[in-house]
Structure 1
Amino acid sequence: MSSAPAPVSAPIPLPVGRLVGVGAIIFFANAALLVLQLVAGRLLSPYIGSSLETWTSIIGVFLAGIALGNAFGGRLADRYPSPKTLAILLGVGVVAALWMLLFPQLLASNGAYKSIPLGPRIPVLAAILCLPAGFVLSLLTPLAIKLGLPDVAHTGRVAGLIFALSTLGCLVGNYVTGFYLIPTFTVNALVLFSAGALVVLAMVALVVVKPSPSAPDAATNGGRTEATDASAGLNPHAFSDIRRAYLIVFLASFCGMTLELTASRVLAQYLGVSLFTWTGIIGVMLAGTALGNFTGGQFADRPKNTLAWLAGAVTFLGTIAVAGVVALVAAYDQDQPVVEHVLGIPAQNWAKYAPLSYEAFEERGDEIRVFIRGEVPELLPKLRIQLLAGVGIGVILGALLGYFVFGSLKRGSAPDPRSVLAATLCAGGAATVFLFVTMALISRYHLFELWDPVVQVLVWTFSMFFLPMFALGMVSPQVIRLAVPDVSQAGAVAGRVYAWSTVGAIVGTFAAGYVLLSAAGMNRTLLAASFVVTVTSLIVAKVWNNNSLLYLFSIVLGGIVGGFILTARTNRDTGIMVESNYYTIKVTRESPFNTRLKLTLDHLVHSSVDPYDPGYLYYHHEHTQMEFLRLARTQTAEPKALVIGGGGYTFPRYALEMMPEAHVDVVEIDPKVTQVARDHLGLRDYPGLQAIHMDGRQFVSEKAAPGSYDLVIQDAVNDLSVPAHLMTKEYNDAVKVSLKPGGAYLLTIIDSIAYGKLWKAAMATLTKTFPAENIVLLTAERPAPAGTAAGDSWDQTRRVLVIYASDKPLDLDKLHGAVVDQLSPGFAAGLAVGTAGGADIRAALPITLSATPLARDGVRIYTAEVPAARLKPYTDREPGVILTDQFCPIDNLMAEVFRQRYK
């Protein structure tokens, strides 16, 4: 018997045609999957609300389906690696998509779901609706990798390409759904659209994708052939225990999902919460992951130049960053003559504003914006020239240094693939720490204050979160390359690795959403994610045996420790900050000269409260709400009001102090908001107050007794975030059922009359529940008469608006009379005398167009009606759309407001 070694066969080329076919199918299938995921919340919100638990359950169920689908799909791919299998799975996916259309109709046909308590109902209904689609469509990815993989030497590239196309499909689905599909089609139409796309993809799989010529032989010899046995030797660095691979991708994905959820809380402080911020976050996460998947696949199969490229790129980018920071500091530093001579402005004027903290900037926002808009636009080109010059120098130096580092490492021996993976993990930790530097520079110097808000979102998200997600995206392809022993097991290994990666994402979703953000806060959550990623490199390689790796590991670990020390010593003297599952809650003093406190939820100053004076109301719309409660008091001895959205609890506190006989139920979704109001804002336990912590729609639909409220007030708005399920006709119908006959519904929104679309949609939708003549827009500020020039500030300014709706017409005279009667007995007596001769003095009061709130005998009246003639030009030009559970593009209706907010 000859002992000569088996001849090494020539490398098998990549099957480009088959890869293009399966890649296209994976791309569009994952786009359809994301469409289904985004509409799932709209489908279920009438039955489980739209709380943190709702979205966490939906995301968690989809991720669980993806994990199970990849684990089972890997085995399926190794047993039946053919395009026919791909087509059958797509056909089953059509059925799963149609189930998402059918199940909500089954729920609507009877109220059996209401017998399940809301807590367990949320995950149960989410699982029944979403799990089939998530599971079936995730069976496709391991099969696509199997069909496109000629041999083990190409594992990293094929897996990285398929993962990248999968992520890009999700990215396209995210943008197309958010910006085009939701504002154009109903939710059911989107589900049918996704099902139709899957039918087309099934036909493509049968007609276009060609089977692998070696597929029939793959099952011979126990699933192994001589060729695969020989190729197994190409992977001498494979993990001896596959569980190590599972642990690595689990931890990396855990940190990636934690980073994504934390990103929303970070940006909410500076940009608010809106469709644009969420789209920017999801987009940058998917873009970074997709590019990381592709790059990681290339690195996995070509380890010789990987470390050289990685080190060269880090050097290049690091040099640019340092040069940019130096140029930026030079531009703002009052000691540098460049400020005065290059920018042409006295240094002390600019320095007076540039170094302010974000909180200080908010305090002096108007003053600073006047300065910025008045003087800076003329100087901005010079500033940009200096910054571009600094960055340009950084590019040149970075290119030279990067090429030197790349060349020196390239000439060395081929690095251990495990060392490359460990370096990738350390790079992910470093990028996560570096985002703190980027965030500090942007917020400290207000770099993008003059930019379009949409551009601001893109710059914020990409500058802070792209690099960490790019590094984490490179992990999975490298792990798969180190875990696949031969082609016959490629499907199973890829599926299991991807499944464990998804399990990590699931755990990260629940951990960040329910525990980390509220318990540890944003900054420490980010640092903890960086620490976990960095320490994971110890599982991959013996870092202490490689000087370069040990140096990199030590530097990153030192940055993390320093970050923890700095966050532990953060000065909290300026106020109280509490991080909850929903908001960053801040309580700060309005001024050192009074006792009033300011409650900020994320980006919006939600309430102004005097904890020592419950009779203080800052916002005019709260006075309007109180005036309607006084009107209700004239008809019942113990008026009952429902408030959706607690905030600083200023109105409930005021109402129960002024009218102790009243009963006020407050539905606040965030328990920590209520706790902050109790601990810091003077809220006490009033006999007539009931605080309920749940989704507002679920309370109105299921808990509120029919005909039980004289007044329902909806004040659940936060900056640019409006709960869509609280604006639909179906919700308005439920509110009407909860009202007593003649009871009033006051809908609070923040919008602009001139360019806003939300107020028109809200009023149009209310006409489907209440008589159109009983829908009135109220204001406490003077609306200009019809025909006023377009520059009228009342129309142009974004402000709080209150919409009145009832089955009874609004009687302003009766409302004002109730206020005056209850607050000024002497004036009430005067009215009685005045009306004895048949003339009602109230008729002469200039209410509807008052320049300031009406004042008579010490009584101020705030409620005024905006004349219908004043609104008609806007509604004639663009009538409001009717919002339903099937069609409610709230974020898109507010898009123009978002663009105009800084103009």
Structure 2
Amino acid sequence: MSGERPVAAEREPAGLGAWSAAVLVFGSSAAVLVVELAALRLLAPYFGLTLETNTLVIGLALAAIAAGTWAGGWTADRVAPRTLLAPLLGVSGAAVALTPVVVRGSAATGPGALMLAATLSILVPGALLSAVSPVVIKLRLTSLRETGSVVGRLSGIGTVGAIAGTVVTGFVLISRVPVSAILVGLGVLLLATSVLVQAAGRRGRGDLLLGAVVALGGLGANLAPSGCDTETTYHCLAIDADPDRPTGRTLVLDGLRHSYVDREDPTFLEFEYVQAMASVVDTAYPPGEPIRAHHLGAGGLTLPRYVAATRPGSASTVSEIDGGVVAADERLLGDDFPAGTDVRVEDGRLAIDGLGARSLDLVVGDAFGGVSVPWHLATLEALDGLGRALDDDGLYVANVIDHGPLHFARAYVRTTAEVFGEVALLADPRVLAGEDGGNLVVVASRSPVDVAAILDRMAARGLGWGALAGDELDTWTGAAPVLTDDFAPVDQLLTPYGA
């Protein structure tokens, strides 16, 4: 029988207790999901919180898990597995802690560097952390007869860890802790675990180096300029002073100038699209006449302040999903917070269901961003809800941002026309001609819209925008799809996906 290969030894010292194994598998699996969800927030300012961004991050995370699991198992069969655990945890901790400064630093370099940094920030720690489970399983396999139970038990623990990481991050961490702090904190925790594992195995070499790397990464992540005054639940938020207007402030969300506020003069409107929306309101409702209004999206509360100042006694409600934006408005405006305005932290779509029938004169939609659009506010069902809430002569005014061929804007206009009998579109003439992208203002009502009067009012403000209505607007809209809760490919319609 000398030609036969010897059977592998049935027993080998595990070198790792059952509880220690469970904690390592649970924690490493949870950490992978924490990194994935935090990466979505970290990358949203640059790529948008779109279906494509989610798909990319999830795909990269799954690729990292697959590669790490395979490589970890292959290596554990060829190298003493006990020596692998601490380096896997320590290096992954360094990578996680360095992620904020690397990603934000690469964003200033260019899109190519940003994409590379974003990819590595998910692949590297994800693969290293995913390699922990097969290494631990190798250490716990003391007999071939218990392979199934060991693998099944630890795999189940890893899945529970992944669920816990998802739930804790989504429901607790993101709403209470800045993204950079989440990643740096996780990196430090992984390093501490690495040190404990090394010490337990009496193999402490390299701990000092790993500690220095993570410490420097955490320091860099906190000191590197991010452009944020505050990291809110949804945005990197900053408030910039206007050097040309002492009382002017600009609310910047994710690097984009989102709203402009003059702290002393609520009738001063800096942005052209806001001037266009105010022109629509002025044409439909004479100044001095109180109105009932609902605003989807708070921004800097520019239009609610304008309505309160020009129409004393008006009642406005505002739905804003990001409590950090509301808190920034309260700090920014202080005693100048608009009278008669109730700002609520809530999802705008859920708020629509609570609006009373025929209870409003005006609905202002300003929740669509340049790189991210809440698709559930763009559908036929959402617009139906707004239509029910408006009086017969009520007005819906919405700001839409699109680029290139304007596929999303065309679809949104057509969807709006399914609900409201009268629709007009206001924009810079180059945008209407299809030569450029930017802001477009949709005006809709069941009653006739006085487009000529709106154009005159915009001209009086010095705004050289044009308008489309009737057959011209139908031609402009073309065969664009109607968006519904069942079919709303908003992310694909937005450039470049809709090009």
Residue 807 of structure 1 and its aligned partner are, at CA, apart by 1.5
Mapped contact 1:249–1:504 kept (Cα < 8 A): yes
Mapped contact 2:393–2:445 kept (Cα < 8 A): yes
Residue 881 of structure 1 and its aligned partner are, at CA, apart by 0.6
Partner residue, 1:760: 410
What is the SS of the residue equivalent to 2:95? Answer: helix
Partner residue, 1:502: 159
**Cα gap change, 1:267/1:880 in structure 2, threshold over 3 Å: closer, same or farther?**
same
The reply on whether 1:534 has 2:198 as its aligned counterpart is: no
Distance 1:750 1:440 in 2: 25
Partner residue, 2:90: 426
Partner residue, 2:13: 236
The reply on whether 1:512 has 2:169 as its aligned counterpart is: yes
The ranges of structure 1 where at least 4 consecutive aligned residues each deviate by more than 6 angstroms after the TM superposition are: none
Give the AA of the match of 2:344: I
Distance 1:437 1:565 in 2: 9
Distance 1:687 1:501 in 2: 53
**Cα gap change, 1:488/1:604 in structure 2, threshold over 3 Å: closer, same or farther?**
farther
The reply on whether 1:714 has 2:365 as its aligned counterpart is: yes
**2:143 aligned residue (469, 479, 486):** 486
Distance 2:400 2:249 in 1: 23
**1:557 aligned residue (166, 187, 211):** 211
**Cα gap change, 1:638/1:896 in structure 2, threshold over 3 Å: closer, same or farther?**
same
**1:894 aligned residue (486, 494, 498):** 494
Distance 1:764 1:793 in 2: 15
Partner residue, 1:699: 351
The reply on whether 1:626 has 2:278 as its aligned counterpart is: yes
Mapped contact 1:431–1:468 kept (Cα < 8 A): yes
**2:468 aligned residue (866, 888, 903):** 866
What is the SS of the residue equivalent to 1:719? Answer: coil
Distance 1:249 1:651 in 2: 52
Mean Cα deviation higher: 245-254 or 889-898 = 889-898
1:747-896 equivalent positions in 2, closer than 5 A: 747-752=398-403, 755-771=405-421, 774-779=422-427, 781=428, 783=429, 795-813=434-452, 815-816=453-454, 847=455, 853-855=458-460, 864-866=466-468, 874-876=476-478, 879-896=479-496
Give the AA of the match of 2:90: C
The reply on whether 1:646 has 2:298 as its aligned counterpart is: yes
Residue 598 of structure 1 and its aligned partner are, at CA, apart by 2.0
**Cα gap change, 1:870/1:736 in structure 2, threshold over 3 Å: closer, same or farther?**
closer
Residue 259 of structure 1 and its aligned partner are, at CA, apart by 1.3
RMSD of the alignment, in Å? 3.1
Residue 871 of structure 1 and its aligned partner are, at CA, apart by 5.2
What is the SS of the residue equivalent to 1:795? Answer: coil
Question: Unpaired runs of 5+ in structure 1?
Answer: 1-6, 13-152, 154-229, 304-415, 785-791, 817-846
What is the SS of the residue equivalent to 2:486? Answer: coil
Residue 570 of structure 1 and its aligned partner are, at CA, apart by 5.9
What is the SS of the residue equivalent to 1:617? Answer: coil
Partner residue, 1:470: 127
Give the alignment's TM-score, normalised by structure 2: 0.89
Mapped contact 1:628–1:711 kept (Cα < 8 A): no
The reply on whether 1:727 has 2:378 as its aligned counterpart is: yes
**1:738 aligned residue (372, 386, 389):** 389
Distance 1:544 1:302 in 2: 19
**Cα gap change, 1:712/1:487 in structure 2, threshold over 3 Å: closer, same or farther?**
farther
Residues 525-565 of structure 1: per-residue CA shift (max 9 Å, x gap) = 2111111222222454436722xxx3422112122223444
1:431-470 equivalent positions in 2, closer than 5 A: 431-435=95-99, 438-439=102-103, 441-444=105-108, 446-448=109-111, 458-470=115-127
Give the AA of the match of 2:323: P
Give the AA of the match of 1:713: V
Give the AA of the match of 1:759: A
Structure with more of its chain in helix, by fraction: 1
Residue 258 of structure 1 and its aligned partner are, at CA, apart by 1.7
Residue 721 of structure 1 and its aligned partner are, at CA, apart by 1.0
Residue 635 of structure 1 and its aligned partner are, at CA, apart by 11
The reply on whether 1:250 has 2:23 as its aligned counterpart is: no
Give the AA of the match of 1:585: L
Residues 401-427 of structure 1: per-residue CA shift (max 9 Å, x gap) = xxxxxxxxxxxxxxx421212221112
Partner residue, 1:272: 48
**Cα gap change, 1:636/1:729 in structure 2, threshold over 3 Å: closer, same or farther?**
farther
Mapped contact 1:599–1:608 kept (Cα < 8 A): yes
Distance 1:673 1:465 in 2: 28
Residue 800 of structure 1 and its aligned partner are, at CA, apart by 1.0
Distance 1:533 1:746 in 2: 50
Mapped contact 1:276–1:457 kept (Cα < 8 A): no
Mean Cα deviation higher: 682-691 or 740-749 = 682-691
**Cα gap change, 1:683/1:508 in structure 2, threshold over 3 Å: closer, same or farther?**
farther
Max radius of gyration: which structure? Answer: 1
Residue 631 of structure 1 and its aligned partner are, at CA, apart by 4.3
Distance 2:245 2:179 in 1: 32
Residues 649-678 of structure 1: per-residue CA shift (max 9 Å, x gap) = 111112212222211110001111111011
Partner residue, 1:188: none
Give the AA of the match of 2:487: F
The reply on whether 1:660 has 2:312 as its aligned counterpart is: yes
Distance 1:299 1:567 in 2: 32
Distance 2:244 2:477 in 1: 45
What is the SS of the residue equivalent to 2:229? Answer: strand
Give the AA of the match of 2:459: L
Structure with more of its chain in strand, by fraction: 2
Aligned sequence identity (%) = 29
Residue 434 of structure 1 and its aligned partner are, at CA, apart by 4.4
Distance 2:498 2:13 in 1: 55
Mapped contact 2:96–2:183 kept (Cα < 8 A): yes
Residues 195-240 of structure 1: per-residue CA shift (max 9 Å, x gap) = xxxxxxxxxxxxxxxxxxxxxxxxxxxxxxxxxxx62x1x32253x
The reply on whether 1:690 has 2:342 as its aligned counterpart is: yes
Partner residue, 1:358: none
Give the AA of the match of 1:748: N
What is the SS of the residue equivalent to 2:419? Answer: coil
Distance 1:889 1:532 in 2: 40
Distance 1:492 1:477 in 2: 14
**2:36 aligned residue (255, 260, 270):** 260
Distance 1:532 1:600 in 2: 33
**Cα gap change, 1:636/1:588 in structure 2, threshold over 3 Å: closer, same or farther?**
closer
